[in-house]
Amino acid sequence: MDIIKSLLFAGFLLLAGQANAVPIIVWDQSPDQIGGSLTGGGWTNSTSSQNFLDIVNFDTPVWLTGMDIYMSSSLGSVGDTGTVRIRSGSHLGPLIADFTELVTLIDNDGTASIGSLHRVYAEFTTPIALLAGVDYWIGMSGTSDTWTQAGITGGTGPLLDNQVARYNGTSFVVFATDVDDQAFRLWGESAAVPTPATIALFGLGLAGLGW
């Protein structure tokens, strides 16, 4: 009976959605994707001073597993730490995630249109589940060093509004209109559709419980 209960519970977890091993880009606001040009070259982004969050809204539920930000190629190193913050509902909404991750990759992916930038990537130790149709404000700030994150003007994308939320640490300061949109990408996967194997496991658990 304990085995059957374990199968049933595993089925429920998998139907609810679990992050797989291979992530995909679930939000693309990279320079190459949105176009445009740099606004003043970049904006100071650190957990001890200014940090910036930009808006996203997903069509389907997702698990977030990593984040790219874009900044000057003279800044940032593998092994640096970045603090990821996520607010729900609005730029004044509750802080639902606040954690620090290691930078594991720096390259030029997504920067062909603006050669002075590079991509700084951090993988999340614990995936973050986010709902569809909800506004989230997401940003990654330098923790061990001050970063200068790229601002983009004149780009095209679903939620580009030429504004970001600017904070002093975690305290809200101003809804900034002078920095345009932040260049970043989010990695993860859809959590909306269970696989046939997941459904089969769930059915096995139900059948065993009935028996």
Query: How many Å apart are CA 33 and CA 42, to the nearest integer?
Result: 18
Query: How many Å apart are CA 47 and CA 173, to the nearest integer?
Result: 14
pLDDT (tens place) for every residue of the chain, 211 residues total:
444 433 333 343 344 455 555 899 999 999 999 998 888 767 888 988 888 999 999 999 999 999 999 998 888 889 999 999 999 999 999 999 999 999 999 999 999 988 889 999 999 999 999 999 999 999 999 997 889 889 888 888 888 888 899 998 878 888 877 678 999 999 999 886 544 444 444 444 444 445 4
DSSP-assigned states of every residue in 89-129: SSTTS-EEEEEEEEEEEEE-TT-TTSTTEEEEEEEEEEEEE
Q: Which pLDDT belongs to residue 192?
A: 67
Secondary structure of residue 158 in the 3-state scheme: coil
Q: Tokens in use for 34?
A: 């949105």
The pTM (predicted TM-score) of the whole model is: 0.81
